Every structure is written in structure tokens, then in C-alpha cells.
Chains A and B, each alone.
Chain A
Amino acid sequence: DSGVTQTPKHLITATGQRVTLRCSPRSGDLSVYWYQQSLDQGLQFLIQYYNGEERAKGNILERFSAQQFPDLHSELNLSSLELGDSALYFCASSVVSYTEAFFGQGTRLTVV
């Protein structure tokens, strides 16, 4: 158990809908990262927050947004969902930016 908690574990939704994925980082970790893993693209970095502020952005779609709250948990919002958004979404956390990140068990999103 990495100490990073993601909910829900599975999510099935229809195209055009909006979903929210939740992540609780390890106790004491200030940095939270979101990654997307699909069969053809591998693990792709989406966005990083550090102590509530956005720090780095990857190829995150405009339909996707995230935030980190004062209690350091984070949410990833995915809207206007398309079939191609079906993937595993991972949250990871680290103490600060340049240390090892620990991953949660992921949320499997299926868009039908």
C-alpha cells in the first residue's frame, strides 16, 4: 500500500458526460501528480500541483481540469467525455517536487 488513495476505483459513464476523480496523497506529501495510462500511449503526465498551486502541465486536454485543496487532496475533472478518454487515471504524490513519487491504485474510466 503506497498510502495514496484514489476514488472511485472504477467508473463507467456515457459520452458527453462529466466525471470527477479524487485523490488523497500520502500524509506529509505536498506534491500531487495526475497521469493517464492507455494501451497505446503508456503513462502520460497530465498535471502537477504543489501545496495548492499548479506547478507543471503536460498534454492535458482543455476539457480536463484539476485542483488541489487546502487539505492537499486533489480532484481531476473530465468533461465532455469521448470514447478515447477511456483509460486508467493515476494520482501520485511526493514530499516535494524532486523526490520519488508514490502512485495510487488508479481509477479505471470507461466511456461508452
Chain B
Amino acid sequence: EDQVTQSPEALRLQEGESSSLNCSYTVSGLRGLFWYRQDPGKGPEFLFTLYSAGEEKEKERLKATLTKKESFLHITAPKPEDSATYLCAVQTGGTSYGKLTFGQGTILTVHP
């Protein structure tokens, strides 16, 4: 069974204090790893897709990286508006088709 574990569960940062969120996964045949951002009461917002180990993607203050066992979401000089829950999800092939298996998320709070 596919498993996704995110750490830490919660992270409190001061504005400008860079840090990283971790997503470790155990799957049989990774097809893609996805990062989403979710604000309270809203639907997850797509951020990145990573397909192979060594791949990196960047968007504004966020950078996602992928190894064979885990992914990191690096947040550089965060601002209060970056506060949200960050979700990691994996997609495998075969009969899973487009199914995403999500981790429990990391709740990020950035204080001004």
C-alpha cells in the first residue's frame, strides 16, 4: 500500500526565516509527486509536479526537490501570506490511474 508521511506536522516561522518541509514516500512505482497548498476551508491549490529523482521546480519563494525516497519543499524568506497547509501526494501507475495518495500535511504559520 502506498504511504506518504509529511514532517513536521506544524511549523512556525518568523517572516524571512527560511526552512524546509519534508515528504517521505513508500510506493511501488512512482509516476509523479505533487505538492499542493491548502487554505482553511478551501480546495487544494496545485503547486508542483516532480517526476524523477534529481528534478527541481521553483515558483516565487518555493522550491521543490525529489529524491528516490523523499521530496522537500524549501521556502525562502517566507511571508505571512505563505501561511497554509502544504500537502504532498504521490501518483503511481497501473490500475491506480490518476489516484493521488496524500500525506497528512504540514501546517505552516509565518509570523510578521
Contact = CB atoms under 8 A, between A and B. Distances in A.
Contacts of B99: 33, 45, 48, 56, 58
Of the listed residues A31, A33, A103, the one surrounded by the most CB atoms of chain B closer than 10 A to its CB is A103
A43 B42 CA distance: 13
Interface stretch (A69-77, A78-86, A93-101): A93-101
Contacts, number: 71
A103 B98 contact: no
Contacts of B89: 43
Interface size class of B (residues with CB under 8 A): 20 to 34
Contacts of B44: 43, 90, 103
A94 B96 CA distance: 15
B32 A104 contact: no
A101 B100 contact: yes
A98 B97 CA distance: 7
Contacts of A98: 31-32, 91, 93, 97-98
A86 to B, nearest CB: 14
A56 B87 contact: no
Interface size class of A (residues with CB under 8 A): 20 to 34
Interface in A40-62: 42-45, 48, 50, 55-56, 58
Contacts of B95: 56
- Main secondary structure, interface of A, reads strand
Interface of B: 31-32, 34, 36, 41-46, 49, 87, 89, 91, 93, 95-105
Interface of A: 2, 4, 31, 33, 35, 42-45, 48, 50, 55-56, 58, 88, 90, 92, 94, 96-106, 108
14 contacts: A2-B46, A31-B98, A33-B99, A33-B100, A35-B100, A42-B105, A44-B102, A45-B101, A56-B96, A96-B98, A98-B32, A98-B97, A99-B49, A103-B44
